[in-house]
Amino acid sequence: MTYVSINPAVLRWARQRAGLSKEQLAKKVGKARKPEVVRAWETGKARPTFRQAQKLARALRIPMGYLFLSAPPTTTVPIVDFRSLPDAERGRFSPDLEDVLNDALRKRDWMREWRVREGADPLPFVGKFSQEDAPESIAADIRARLALPMPPAQRARSWEEHLRLLVRHAESADIMVLQSGIVGSNSRRTLSVEEFRGFALIDRYAPLIFINARDSIAGRIFTLAHELGHIWTGTGGVSNPEPAPHPFPETPAIERLCNQVAAELLVPAHELRRRWTQGQDILHTAQEMAQAFRVSVFVVLIRARELGLISSEGFQIAYDQAQEKVRRTPSRRGRGNFYHNLQARNGLLLLREIGIALRQEALLYQEASRLLNVQPQTLENLLQQIGL
């Protein structure tokens, strides 16, 4: 039996990076009844076999060669971390989030190179505003640039259609929008909503928004609007925008601003004031407004309180009632159409540009397939479905 000399420090680093306990890792490598084996490997008192080292690498989602490095590698992702939920450790990305970020960066970089090569002009709205500007001014400029109706959901018959329309308008303004709940094409590596809901990559030629598709449809709508705020202020980063009754004290100012931009964009103040009916049950009225604006009832309640339409006491009662209703409502998540999901993961804008580059023989099918994490035949079928 062949044993290999792995670096115990690297093994400890990789296990902690993956968020696994020694017991969990032991189970993944077939040693569920002997977790002390992992402890021995991490202290250097024992060595794994070659096959066990392969299993370790797969379980820890690292190249097997990492286990033989002289020291844990330094991994850096060139993006700011704005996450503000209490259980999200800022500055530390899971392997899943790290891989999704790197995949999005590859796509952003390709799009930038392609647009520069084609002689495109830089987009004037990227970083147009500062963090000192009023959220109403930023939201108004987004609405004008994206040619959104007032309010944006007035033509949407459902929350799903509202999101599709927002994405369509964003991509028409040359903003890539990617939506996925998994890493690449690996359905076993699902993304965590608790860790992040979205992020924005800032670029004057190829701005990109990623939305965690594991989130609720209302959550994705708010995340998209929130990330548009990041693009307009030129502040890319990983976000976890969640309408909360009381923002966490440590929430960065830019996150609070982008939440305000999203709220004004989706639920304009003057429209909510005009439609709000005083004297009725607060939660019932908020639910009607959520239906009209195609947002979550929590967004409506927070807006109503901020605009003085309801008291703090009335807000808290209705907010607690809404939370209880959500807890009692079962989650529904369909599998969807394979090619529709694939299109959402990469965005129609990116797919069209890649299709054009392929037809002009400026990009090889093998390179395009790697960029989109699909097989060449799947890529060709997808391009035919979107008319390229």
3-state secondary structure labels for all residues of 287-306: HHHHHHHCCCHHHHHHHHHH
pLDDT score, position 103: 95
Average pLDDT over the chain, rounded to an integer: 91
pLDDT score, position 76: 67
pLDDT score, position 216: 94
Asked if residue 105 has pLDDT above 60, the reply is yes
| Cα separation, 225 vs 223, whole angstroms | 5
Beta pairing partners, 183:
186
Question: In the 8-state DSSP scheme, what is residue 49?
Answer: B
Summarised one tens digit per residue, pLDDT across range 3-22 is 899 999 999 989 988 878 89
Q: Quick one: the chain helix, strand, coil %, rounded to 5?
A: 55, 5, 40
Domain ranges of the chain: 8-68, 81-266, 267-329, 339-385
What single-letter amino acid sits at 90? Answer: R
pLDDT score, position 75: 67
Where are any strands of DSSP class E within the chain? 80-81, 176-180, 182-183, 186-190, 198-201, 208-212, 237-239
Beta-carbon count within 10 A of 380 CB? 17
| Cα separation, 138 vs 257, whole angstroms | 10
Q: Are 282 and 317 in contact (CB under 8 A)?
A: yes
Tell which phi-psi region holds residue 147, choosing left (phi > 0), alpha (psi between -120 and 50) or beta.
left
Residue 118 binned pLDDT confidence (cut-offs 50, 70, 90):
very high
Residue 314 binned pLDDT confidence (cut-offs 50, 70, 90):
very high
| Cα separation, 19 vs 87, whole angstroms | 13
Please give the distance of CA 281 from its chain centroid, rounded to a whole number.
Answer: 35
Residue 84 binned pLDDT confidence (cut-offs 50, 70, 90):
low
Calculated CA dihedral for residues 267, 150, 136, 236, nearest 10 degrees: 80
pLDDT score, position 246: 72
Share of the chain above pLDDT 70, in %: 95
Mean pLDDT of 263-270: 97
| Cα separation, 138 vs 141, whole angstroms | 5
The pair of structure tokens assigned to 70 is 């002289």
Summarised one tens digit per residue, pLDDT across range 21-74 is 899 999 998 887 888 999 999 999 999 999 999 999 999 988 899 999 999 887
Residue 336 binned pLDDT confidence (cut-offs 50, 70, 90):
low
Q: Are 181 and 190 in contact (CB under 8 A)?
A: yes
Share of the chain above pLDDT 90, in %: 71
Mean pLDDT of 254-282: 94
Calculated CA dihedral for residues 17, 19, 23, 24, nearest 10 degrees: -110
76 Cβ contact list (under 8 Å, min separation 6): none
Mean pLDDT of 136-141: 98
pLDDT score, position 388: 75
Summarised one tens digit per residue, pLDDT across range 178-214 is 999 999 888 889 999 999 999 999 999 999 999 999 9
pLDDT score, position 263: 96
pLDDT score, position 201: 97
Segment among 168-172, 248-252, 286-290 with least mean pLDDT: 248-252
Q: Are 105 and 187 in contact (CB under 8 A)?
A: no
Domain 8-68 belongs to what architecture?
Orthogonal Bundle (1.10)
pLDDT score, position 6: 93
Summarised one tens digit per residue, pLDDT across range 361-383 is 999 999 999 999 999 889 989 88
Beta-carbon count within 10 A of 377 CB? 10
| Cα separation, 139 vs 132, whole angstroms | 14
Where are any strands of DSSP class E within 25-175? 80-81
